[in-house]
Amino acid sequence: MRRGPVQLLLVAAFAGGVGQALAEGWKVGTAKVNITPRQPIWLAGYASRKHPAEGTLHPLWAKALAIEDGSGRRAVIVTADVCAFSKVMYEAMYAQIQRRYGLERSQVAITCTHTHTGPVIRESLMACYPLDEEQAALIDTYSQEIEGTIVRAIGEALDRRAPAALWAGEGTAAFAVNRRNNREADVPRLLEQGAVLKGPNDHSLPVLAVRGEDGQLRAVLFGYACHATVLDTYRWSGDYPGFAQLALEKHHPEAMAMFWAGCGADQNPLPRRSVALCEKYGNMLAAGVEDVLRHPMRAVDPTLRTAFEFVTLDYERHPTVAELEATAKKEGLFGRWAKAMLGQVRAGKSFAKGYPYPVEAWQLGGEQLWIILGGEVVVDYGLRFKGTYGKGTWVTAYANDTMGYIPSRRVWEEGGYEATSLEEYGHPATRWAKDVEERVSAAVSRVVEAVGR
Ligand SMILES: [Zn+2]
């Protein structure tokens, strides 16, 4: 049907009238803390770096949003300019959050933007970096400091809860490129020729707007399925998500902007490697968010349901001692990994059969389903869950525990980096068992059912 002026008027009336009443009834609080390391510690995400950080492009932030529905049910989401939170850090933070604020796991989502110009975090990707004892100690101290800082920020956000309305919508941004199916060196030429790059991709840009009783924007959360890997330098930055948040907060000084990473484990921002491109992609995201904010959004009625489970992902197989001894002779990442694994063998520890993978779902109001997954999840999952649960479904990855890549069956069968790199994260295996997608999807369907879909 053609959209005429009468219909447009009705949409506008819904957003400002009946919709407003439905969207209200929430209480929301925000808090943000600067987590830029004061010490020159190593930057996370690349095994090729040679030394610690040497300056700041822009500060790193951890931001907390606390929401409470009309019946007093609460949840908190944290976004942070961090490459990956390890299980050790997630558990340390969650234990404090549970004790101090009485929240269950399903009510907590600690996400990271996966910036590759953020700090190395304790027990995360340790085989990637040739750290000496001094660096390891600095990283340990820094990590424990920000655990406390983030937990306190959650407390502040909870304390600051005030009446608010929630609105949901989706825009688009088109800079994510499937890095498995397009050669990075070819991309600039292909884009210049106007060629269509090979997918799959997910260019959707989910937006959650929080408005106070006066209608003022107080917070805006948005996500995108693409690695934060424009920059690989030695200066702290939030990469393109950092620039996107800065642009939005500049335009809306009264509001806090928060970015979460979607299922973009096989997507890169291409072309890349300059601050100018990094800022350009950040501004593209910010413009996409502004566009969503300018148009009528879906009112989110004030009901919240949350569910969480750990599902075991099995390893395909453990390395043998002979394999580890051979690999331990190598330099770099694999040598360090094999030595660490042999250390476990010699200490009499047996390798785990699998790993507890965190899967979470939030249902906001009657319509908005938000699936929240751990790890570096490839794009197939985001597309699959939107297909199963509806186009407006949001899928956040890199949440709570980032323990490795989560390949789909397709990517697992194809092989390559995202299918076979568990060593980086210190697992006693190279890849997950073949049924990884089946297990994750079954767990997602259970938590989605538990939130009443
Ligand atoms: Zn990654």
Segment 233-288, tens digit of pLDDT: 999 999 999 999 999 999 999 999 999 999 999 999 999 999 999 999 999 999 99
In a domain, 104, yes or no: yes
How far is the C-alpha of 406 from the C-alpha of 431, rounded, in Å?
A: 9
Q: How far is the CA of 441 from the centre of ligand 1 (A)?
A: 21
Q: How far is the CA of 170 from the centre of ligand 1 (A)?
A: 24
Q: Does the pLDDT at position 317 exceed 70? A: yes
Q: How far is the CA of 228 from the centre of ligand 1 (A)?
A: 8
Provide the residue range defining the domain that includes 330: 316-346
In a domain, 2, yes or no: no
Residues 218 and 109 in one domain: yes
Residues 326 and 410 in one domain: no
Average pLDDT over residues 46-51: 92
Beta-carbon neighbours within 5 Å of ion ligand 1: 376
In a domain, 7, yes or no: no
- Of 329, 346, 363, at which residue does a domain stop? 346
In a domain, 273, yes or no: yes
Q: How far is the CA of 186 from the centre of ligand 1 (A)?
A: 21
DSSP bridge pairs for 267: 178
State residue 401's pLDDT score. 98
pTM of the complete model: 0.95
State residue 12's pLDDT score. 37
Q: How far is the CA of 287 from the centre of ligand 1 (A)?
A: 25
In a domain, 231, yes or no: yes
Q: How far is the CA of 16 from the centre of ligand 1 (A)?
A: 41
Q: Which of 69, 142, 137, 75 is nearest to 102 (CA)?
A: 75
- Of 328, 346, 364, at which residue does a domain stop? 346
Residues 241 and 340 in one domain: no
Q: How far is the CA of 89 from the centre of ligand 1 (A)?
A: 18
- Of 291, 325, 346, at which residue does a domain stop? 346
Residues 52 and 182 in one domain: yes
Residues 6+ apart with CB under 8 A from 435: 314
Q: Does the pLDDT at position 23 exceed 80? A: no
Residues 284 and 391 in one domain: yes
In a domain, 3, yes or no: no
Residues 374 and 412 in one domain: yes
State residue 453's pLDDT score. 78
Residue 398 CB: number of other CB atoms within 10 A?
A: 30
Residues 164 and 226 in one domain: yes
Residues 330 and 374 in one domain: no
Residues 297 and 320 in one domain: no
Least confident interval from 52-66, 122-136, 229-243, 414-428: 122-136
Question: Does an H or E element contain 29, and which?
Answer: strand 26-34
In a domain, 6, yes or no: no
Percent of the residues in the chain that have a pLDDT greater than 70, as a whole number: 95
Provide the number of structural domains found in the chain.
Answer: 2
State residue 318's pLDDT score. 98
Residues 337 and 261 in one domain: no
Q: Which amino acid is residue 207, in one-letter code?
A: V
Residues 242 and 330 in one domain: no
Q: How far is the CA of 126 from the centre of ligand 1 (A)?
A: 14
Q: How far is the CA of 97 from the centre of ligand 1 (A)?
A: 27
Q: How far is the CA of 216 from the centre of ligand 1 (A)?
A: 35
Q: How far is the CA of 345 from the centre of ligand 1 (A)?
A: 28
What band does 8 get if pLDDT is binned at 50, 70 and 90? very low
Residues 214 and 337 in one domain: no
Q: How far is the CA of 297 from the centre of ligand 1 (A)?
A: 32
Q: How far is the CA of 453 from the centre of ligand 1 (A)?
A: 31
In a domain, 56, yes or no: yes
What band does 391 get if pLDDT is binned at 50, 70 and 90? confident
Question: Does an H or E element contain 304, and which?
Answer: strand 304-314
